Chains A and B, each alone.
Chain A
Amino acid sequence: MQWLDALIQGILLGGMYAQYALGMTLMFGVMRIVNIAHGDLMILLALVGISGSAMFGVGPFLVIVLLIPIGALLGWALQKGILNRVIGGDELPSLIATFGLSVALQNLMQQIWSADSRSLPGGGLESASVNVAGVYIGVLPLLVLATAVGLTGGLDAMLRFSPFGRALRAASVDSEAAAITGVNPRAVYATATAAAVAILGIAAVFQSLRATVSPADGPAQLIYAFEAVIIGGMGSVWGSFLGAIVLGIAQAIGFRADPGWGILMGHLVFLLVLAGRPQGLMSRNR
């Protein structure tokens, strides 16, 4: 029973990681960029949400509605101001630029919000649970998982069927050829990054509801998102969802075995996948 409980908690935790991982899959799949400030942007949005909620006295769902456009705007500005200047060929500049951004953001947040941990009051939502056959399942984690499934399905469908998705896939395969056929790669990139950071806005609200956030938390979230993407298979939207679930289960079971080993167990599973199936669980190529 104890292990079944750990398994269920792991799947639910994986829902949270799936939300972080989506934005990363989108950005890497399209631009071959890894944004090292990915986790820090999520923390920034979470802190903005917490302060905004306290200032205007609005509930978590209104905060989501506010954070999505803020995230989209941030992503668009990030692409226009920084990433569009460093993409192409060499990966070094984009890595270094986002690394610098990450250091600056972390310290800026520490200056504004201090190093304290905060969380978003959910009005009882965070402690509500349902009893399913003897296992208590939190309502909030279920909501997180359901949102993750919805976002993953939505993103997958958008990439497959919408004109924007076609433009995006075209630009990622060959940006010059896409440009010839009338796709503006830079505009596509800006929209993709805006979408990626807007998804982080949703993740930020859930993260600050179910746990605490502090300015130094970003790198850990970046690493979880990254591990989910690699475990699942690079470039596959449902793959990164599956990877996030696997990572969540590994961590939850590790925590149950010994609290010090939870996160480490996640890293070990990641390394095992890298050793045994480097293309990821769901990747079709190779």
Chain B
Amino acid sequence: MRWMVELSCYLAVAQMWNLLAGYGGLVSVGQQAFIGIAGYALFILSIRFGINPFVGVALAVIAPALVAVPTYALLHRLDGPYFAIGTWVIAESFRLLTTNMDFVNGGAGLTLRAMTQFSAQERAIGMTSWSAALILITVGGSYWLLRSRYGLALAAMRDNAIAAESQGVNVKRLRFLIYVAAAAGTGLAGAVYYMAQLRISPVAAYSPKWASVCIFIVMVGGIGSIEGVLIGALIYFASDRLFGEYGTTYLIVLGIITLLVAIFARGGVWGVVSRYVGVSIFSTRRIFARGDA
């Protein structure tokens, strides 16, 4: 059950990053802010207000969405690559803020004791349902979004933001909406993840490790496509299981692979596959981009 929750969280977080970076052109290295905020919201709802955690997950998503609004208002003033580091500063600020708050037990973190009231079977059912819902909402939601009226605008923005703007796409508004949606989706993944972990601490929840997970999965799998994220998540998950025990060496290799993909194969694995396997797979990818607009 644990691996299922993990895989679905990685998939969700990566897909949200893909939406941001791949379509919105907003490169973030600070999505862990929303993981931490939603995770903590869930724990506070349960511990302070006695709300059933399985219900709390749905409510916890509101917090990152609300935080995303002023955050974006500040960050969108930063130019290009500075935006990315700005998101990191935000995440660090929330980490330090959480560490300094006695209300959430500071740096020591919180435990979700309310989960003990459920039997193992009830927990399994709850976690499975939420993992499924998480995928449905983030991946399914993105698919639906890309097929909708906005899909065409998003695809146009991905290919060339300035040209899209000149064709009447409201790039500013669309970017804002994507940022908030991605914050909520990432937050949902964070809430589900820490509900399964039963423990949350500022260092883990606001860890830049989440940013590297997103970046590795999306870049290696293939940016700007849903298939790429699926492939990337499976590659990351499998290599984490197989080579995770090698610790630093494994991370060095992950870092170098990310670097090489950025230099030599910007489309990632899916980019290479769709180029060589041919038109049939490529055209399925294009179907949703064509949409019904």
| B47 interfacial by beta-carbon distance below 8 Å | no
Answer whether A267 and B89 are a contact pair too, CB < 8 Å, given A32-B81, A104-B259.
yes
- Given A91-B27, A96-B219, do A103 and B258 touch, yes or no (CB 8 Å)? yes
* Distance to closest chain B CB from A163 (angstroms): 28
The interface-forming segment of B93-101, B112-120, B172-180 is B93-101
Of the candidates A91, A92, A101, A275, the one whose C-beta lies within 8 Å of that of B259 is: A101
Contacts of A103 in B (CB 8 A): 212, 251-252, 254-255, 258
Q: Is B215 an interface residue (CB 8 A)?
A: yes
B88 contacts which chain A residues (CB < 8 A)? Answer: 219, 223
A278 to chain B, nearest CB (A): 4
Which of A5-13, A126-134, A182-190, A258-266 sits within the interface? A258-266
B263 touches A267 (CB 8 A): no
Q: Mark B18-38, 1 if CB is under 8 A from A, else 0.
A: 000100010101000000000
CA distance A234 to B82 in the complex (A): 10
Contact B93 A274 (CB under 8 A): no
Question: Measured between alpha carbons, how far is A268 from B100 in the docked complex, in Å?
Answer: 14
Residues of A within 8 A of B29 (CB): 36, 95, 99
Task: Known A91-B80, A93-B262; judge A264-B96 contact (CB<8 A).
Answer: yes
- A43 CA to B251 CA in the complex, in Å? 18
B255 touches A100 (CB 8 A): yes
Q: Are A108 and B81 in contact (CB under 8 A)?
A: no
Residues from chain B with a CB closer than 8 A to the CB of A270 are 89
Count chain B CB atoms within 10 A of each CB in A33, A261, A264 and give the residue with the most: A264
B261 contacts which chain A residues (CB < 8 A)?
Answer: 96, 100
**How near does chain A come to B118, taking the closest CB pair, in angstroms?**
36
Q: How far is the CA of A186 from the CA of B83 in the complex (A)?
A: 25
Contacts of A110 in B (CB 8 A): 248
B147 sits at the interface (CB 8 A) = no
A111 interface residue per 8 A CB criterion:
yes
Q: Is B279 in contact with chain A by the CB < 8 A criterion?
A: no
Residues facing A in B56-86 (CB within 8 A) are 74-75, 77-82, 84-86
User: In the complex, what's the smallest C-beta–C-beta distance from B196 to chain A, in angstroms?
Assistant: 25
B283 at the A interface (CB under 8 A): no
A111 and B80: CB pair below 8 A? no
Judge whether A111 and B248 touch: CB under 8 Å: yes
Indicate the size class of the contact surface on chain A: 35 or more
Number of residue pairs spanning A and B whose beta carbons lie under 8 angstroms apart: 134
Q: Could you tell me if B74 and A271 are in contact, using CB atoms closer than 8 angstroms?
A: yes
A94 and B81 contact, Cβ closer than 8 Å, known pairs A82-B263, A100-B262, A223-B88: yes
* In the complex, A255 has a CB within 8 A of chain B: no
Check A164 for interface membership: any CB of B closer than 8 A. Answer: no
Check B208 for interface membership: any CB of A closer than 8 A.
Answer: yes
A86 to B258, CA, bound (A): 13
A25 to chain B: closest CB distance in Å? 12
Residue B4 CB within 8 A of the other chain = no
B225 to chain A, nearest CB (A): 15
Cross-interface CB contact of B96 among A104, A230, A263, cutoff 8 Å: A263
A92 CA to B261 CA, complexed, in Å: 12
Residues of B near A19 (CB, < 8 A) are: none
A274 and B74 contact, CB distance less than 8 A: yes
Nearest-neighbour CB distance to chain A for B267, whole angstroms, equals 12
Which single residue of chain B is at the shortest CB-CB distance from A97? B262
A100 near B257 with CB under 8 A, answer: yes
A104 x B93 contact (CB < 8 A): no
Contact B77 A268 (CB under 8 A): no
- Are B251 and A32 closer than 8 Å at their CB atoms? no
Q: Smallest CB–CB gap between A38 and chain B, Å? A: 10
Report the separation of the CA atoms of residues A270 and B96 in the bound assembly, to the nearest whole angstrom.
15
Contact B74 A102 (CB under 8 A): no
Q: A93-B262, A97-B263, A264-B96 are in contact. Are A104 and B85 (CB under 8 A)?
A: no
Residues of chain A with a CB closer than 8 A to B123's CB: none
Q: Can you give 12 contacting A-B residue pairs, CB < 8 Å?
A: A32-B80, A82-B263, A86-B262, A92-B27, A94-B81, A94-B262, A95-B27, A96-B262, A100-B255, A268-B93, A270-B89, A271-B93
Binding site for B on A (CB under 8 A): 28, 32-34, 36, 82, 85-86, 91-97, 99-108, 110-111, 219, 222-223, 226-227, 230, 234, 258, 260-261, 263-264, 267-268, 270-271, 274-275, 278
10 other A-B residue contacts (CB within 8 Å) besides A97-B262, A103-B212, A260-B96: A34-B84, A92-B266, A93-B266, A104-B254, A111-B248, A222-B85, A223-B89, A267-B89, A271-B74, A274-B74
